[in-house]
Structures are given as structure tokens and as C-alpha cells.
Chain A
Amino acid sequence: MKKILFDRIDEPGLNTLAVYERRGGYGSLRKALKMTREQVLDELLASGIRGRGGAGFQMGKKISFLPKGDMDKYLVCNADESEPGTFKDRELMQKSPHMLVEGIIIASYAGGIDRSFIYIRGEYSYQADILEAAIEEARAAGYIGERILDSEHSLSMVLHRGAGAYICGEETGLLDSLEGKRGNPRLKPPFPAVEGLYDSPTLINNVETLSTVPHIMRMGGAEYAKIGTETSTGTKLVSVSGDVKRPGNYEIELGIPSREIIYGLAGGPPDGREVKLWFPGGSSAPVLTAEDLDVPYDFDSLAKAGTMLGSGAIIVVDDSHTVIEVATKLAKFYAHESCGKCVPCREGTNWTVKMLARIDSGEATPMDLDIMASVQTQIIGNCLCVLGDAMAMPIGSMIEKYRPELEAYIEQARERAGSGALADVVALGVADEHAGPMPVH
């Protein structure tokens, strides 16, 4: 497969304008500016490209939702890549920042937008410096500013550094943070396309999505749509991490078997180990087991398998780790990052951590798994944003798929802590078969 985003990505100096232009950079922008806004939008719609940040919404449609007219409109590039396991945007911004800048200019032209922001997470200071230099170069060359390349299109671009909060990757949380507030998500609707940054229509896209835009313009939307599957077009950067021999970013054509990514590209788990479970789309995606390794890696096939492609981050866990260990790490992360605005998320993540700790300390009975599962179902869909769901979905799927292992773990932990055998507790007949000791606290 011919690489699109990762084509000679390691070329020295690709982060500078000179090398990028020598490779044909900003040619797509020149081509786009000779077309009308509607023609550019038609190309993006024809490409069928779906958002690469997590939700997988069609980018062209998102632009077409923006109201027409002369009001202030904003484009915000979401570079707050905080989903555990995801690191594709980091490599793109570090090695080819002009690709993103060019994509933002073209997308803003299609949407009739004249102000843009890049919200980059504060931890990526090195990448932010590179991006800032690239924006400066593009401005000096006349690609950013008033009347770009003598067209009617004008655009300003500001790089905004965040300060470390997972929730600011959520689009409305990001907008609040960009407005200088705590990054609390907002009620939707109104959606950002109607009322976003500074209450104005706002287009928010991920770094990878916007970086693909110059290539769509170069190849033509219809040509781009030939790559991948019918509903998941194009290529995707996949970040493979965890228990694999060669972790890293790989550009794949959407629709190839997941096994090919995990075993073929990333080398599979260490020798003598087996894949136990894997997250197909960042830590927020429901987990899949070793039996699901042949699921085609695209948006719809993964949705059919009960999970999601998300940000395209595959985390592989081999059989040397327990499910409890993974679940506890996740739950602690989401409890720490919950902004606290909605009760089901704030309390649900917190109590899930406590219940997992209870299992580990040998105080739990299988009834705790039922309670924990019911907490997860009560979080999903009940909050302003999906942070709580992002914990509830993987934890819920772990309880569902690994119940025998979890029950065995509970038994072992009780033995370790000297809490007495589960059978004795059940024999007391306090309740039904999932009986546990009466609360003593």
C-alpha cells in the first residue's frame, strides 16, 4: 500500500517550509483556492473521510452544517491527544507540521472560516514549538494572513497550549478551555457547528483528519474514496502499544484484518505470550478478546463487533496481566480525569475505583461484580459528555467477557486476605447465590 500521511515522513527537514514545498507542499492549497468553496466541499464530501479523533463523523458533512453567511466562524484543530494509547498526532505534528497547517487553510476555505486555532496539549511542548515555527514560516510565505495567494480567502491561525486535562479533548470541554475557563463540557445541542467558540459557529476536527485534507485535494475526493472500504474510506494511522514487540504508529488501509496490524506490523505479543485482550480504539473502547483478532479494522466492522475504532489506538494486553490490573488502571485514570460536572460520571468513576480496590483487598463477593456492572450501565448516556461512558464501556465489557476470571480472582483475593471462603459466606444464606457479608462499616 502506498503511504499517504506517512509518505517519507522521516525525511530530514520535512518540518521546514523549504523541504515541504520541494515535495509539492501547498500545491493542494493553490489548487483549492482556484476552485470555489462549494467545489472544495464537494471534494471533501466525495472522499467520504470520517473524523479520525474518535467519533468518526463524516468531515464533509460537519463542514456543511456550518451556517452560511458573514458571521464570525472558527476552525479549531483538536490536537489535545490524550486518549490513553494514542500518539499518532504527536508524530504527525512533529515530523510534518506543514501538512496540518495546509489542511487547516483548505478546510477553513471550504467552510468560509477566517479564524483558526490549534489546541495542543500542554505536554507536547516540543511539538508545539515545531508547529509554532511552521505557522510562522507559513505566515511569512503568505499562506496565512489577509488575502491568501491573492484569493478572497483570509485566515488567522493561533496555537493554543493546554495545561494537562484529558477532558479538554472533548470538543465542548476544549472550547471552554480555549475560552480561558475550566474545561467543563457543555450541554449539546446546540452543537459547536451552530454555537461553539465564543458562541459562534465552529468547526472542530482532529489533527489527522485535517492533515489528510491536502492529500484529498491532490488526489481528488473520488480517488481517495477508492482506498479502504465503502463506508470507511482512506488510510488510518494506528497507534499500537502495550504488549507487542514493535509498538509504534502504522499507516494502514482501513478494512484490513486486525490480526495483520497486531501480528504483522507490530510483531505480536512477546515470545511465549498470547493476546489476552485488546482495545481496538483507545482505552475508551469496549475490549475484544483473542477470538476477535480477525475482525476487519474499519469503523463499521468494529461497531458490529460491539466496540469502536475510536482514535485508532490498539492496546494489546497479553496473558501475563490480570483483568483486574487493567480495569483498575483504567478506572483510576477516568476517576482522576472526570471534571466533576455530572454526578453519574464523577461518582460512578470514583466508586468503580473503590469497588475494584475492594476486590483486590479480598473483601468482595461476586455480588460486587453485579453492582459494578449496574454502576456502569447507569453512567452510560446520562452525562453531558462521554468521559463516563468511556470508562463504563470497557469496564462493563470486561465484567461481561471475563466474569469467570474475575470470580476466580475474587476467591483468590479472599484467600490471600483471610476473609474466608466464598462458599461459607454463601452457605450463611444471607441472600441469594451472590450473597455477601452484611456491610460492617
Chain B
Amino acid sequence: MAAPPAVAAPPAVAPPPAVAEPSDWDIPALAPVPRFGHGSRVPGWDDAVDLTKDPAVVPDPATTSVPEDLRQTIEAAMARYPDYHSASIPALHAAQGKYGWLSPDAIAQVAAVMRLTPAYLTSVATFYDMLVTTPKGLHDVFVCTNISCSLRGADALYEAMLVAAEEDDDITVRSFECLGACDIAPMASVDGDYVGPLETGDAKQIVDDLRAGRTVLEAKQLKRRPSADPGARAQ
């Protein structure tokens, strides 16, 4: 009787590696989500938590220089309300109108006049779509991409508008929620002027008109549009 071998002989063939059977119901791999520092999906998510910094206080009016016209506009707005806090949106509008966007300096100037902390005003400015805390162009083009406009081709219009204004840093194109002009869908608000109904071909004309300083799409301005209700005209 032969002694058993001290060591088991290695198997002649290695077992196949454990690989899951590929099946046709596997979900295809998703594209990786873009990540910023610390693995966050939100850029600058930790900007405000620099604990080494003291909290910002109300800027000292003696050291914060505010242009006289801006100061007067803000003070006039504050005087219109029983509580001066109510003027924060008009004041931020005024500063944005002057500087183009709400830079930390612009917010500090408003804060100095209103005697509020920059943090308070930043919290207000970041809540509202029309107040912008990142640099933007001189001209705003808001393309409405909400339901009524998108049913009539607003998404294509938005794409065309982006392409038409691609080269121009002065023109900032944004897709916007319902602008309240679904009767001229698809439409856009160009520096506050409503124009529509637009076709993708109008995008270039809008950019050209803005560059030339003309009224944008004269024939498609909402201002000139009569009421749709036939009864309103007949009487």
C-alpha cells in the first residue's frame, strides 16, 4: 500500500476564474459622474466653511467706497418700505445693473449702504434666478424652455441660440423657466424685451441686432402684438 503523498499534487488544469455569466439584462455601465474636489458633485461646495475666517461683518462705510448714484438708488429704495430689509432685492438689482453681476465687491457695497452683512445679501442673491453671482455678459438672452414653449420647439431654439452667441462673451444665453408669454411661444427675453414666436433662424438675427445696438427683431416684439381675443377688438 503506497503511502499517501505528503502534498497533494497540483491539479493539472487551473479552475476557470470566477467570472459572472454575462447576461443580456445587465444594465450598461453609466458614464462616470463628474466630481469636484472632495468627491463632491457640486463645485465649490465647501467655499463657505473656511473656519479659520472670521464671519463677515457689516462692511465699514468709511472704508467701503460706493459710487454716489448707486448709494442714492439704494437709499431711495430703502425709504419706500416700512422695513428697510425689503429693499434688498431692488438694491441688488441696482448693483447688478451697474456692475453687470453681483461680485463680492458689489455685494459688499450694497451691504455697506444697507447696514446688512454680505452673507445675508448673498443668501438673497443666490435664491433668485435673475440675480447672478458669477461673471456674465452685458446682454442677457433668456430662452423660455418650459412646457408651452418646448411643445413648440424651444429646445431647438435654445441650442441654436447657444451656437449663435458662442463666440460672443458679451451675450449670455440661459434657458429660463416660464417667462409668461406662452402666446408667442417659443419665445425669448432679450435684455427684458420679449420677442416671439421665434424660429431657429432668428437666433443669428438676435445676436446681430444686439451687436448693432438695434431693437431686437422689431417685427416680433411682444409690445406690438394685439390681443388674440376677437371680441376685444370688435367692440
Contacts and interface: CB of A to CB of B under 8 A. Distances in A.
13 contacts: A1-B231, A6-B229, A6-B232, A8-B232, A86-B178, A94-B223, A161-B90, A166-B178, A179-B85, A242-B147, A251-B232, A419-B28, A420-B25
A175 to B, nearest CB: 10
Interface string B182-197: 1111000100111000
A198 B26 CA distance: 58
B180 A121 contact: yes
A417 B88 CA distance: 49
Given A178-B86, A241-B182, A424-B25, A3 B231 contact: yes
A164 B232 contact: no
B153 to A, nearest CB: 11
Given A85-B148, A182-B124, A419-B28, A337 B183 contact: no
Interface of A: 1-3, 6-10, 72, 81-87, 89-91, 94-95, 115, 121-126, 158, 160-166, 177-183, 198, 239, 241-243, 246-251, 265, 283, 313, 315, 317, 321, 325-326, 329-330, 333, 336-337, 339, 363, 417-420, 424-425, 428, 437, 440-441
A181 B152 CA distance: 36
Interface of B: 23-28, 30, 80-90, 92-93, 123-124, 127-131, 142, 145-148, 150-152, 176-185, 189, 192-194, 222-223, 226-229, 231-233, 235
Contact of A428 (B25, B93, B223): B25
Contacts of A239: 182-183
A94 B227 CA distance: 11
Given A3-B232, A420-B25, A85 B182 contact: yes
B152 to A, nearest CB: 8
Contact of B177 (A126, A333, A417): A333
A124 B89 contact: no
Given A241-B185, A428-B25, A162 B232 contact: no
Contacts of B194: 126
Contacts of A182: 123-124, 127
Given A85-B148, A85-B178, A87-B182, A7 B89 contact: no
| Contact residues of A: prevailing secondary structure | loop
Contacts of A122: 89, 93, 128, 130
Contacts of A250: 228-229
Nearest to A123: B179
Nearest to B223: A126
Contact of A177 (B28, B30, B89, B181): B89
Contact of A9 (B90, B151, B185, B232): B232
- For the complex of A and B, 9 pairs with smallest distance between CB atoms: A248-B228, A241-B182, A164-B129, A163-B128, A180-B85, A420-B25, A164-B130, A180-B88, A6-B232
B151 A242 contact: yes
A94 to B, nearest CB: 8
B147 A419 contact: no
**Which residue, B142, B145, B233, has most C-beta atoms of chain A within 10 A?**
B233
B148 A123 contact: no
Contacts of A420: 23-26
A437 B223 contact: no
B22 to A, nearest CB: 11
A84 B229 contact: no
B130 A123 contact: yes
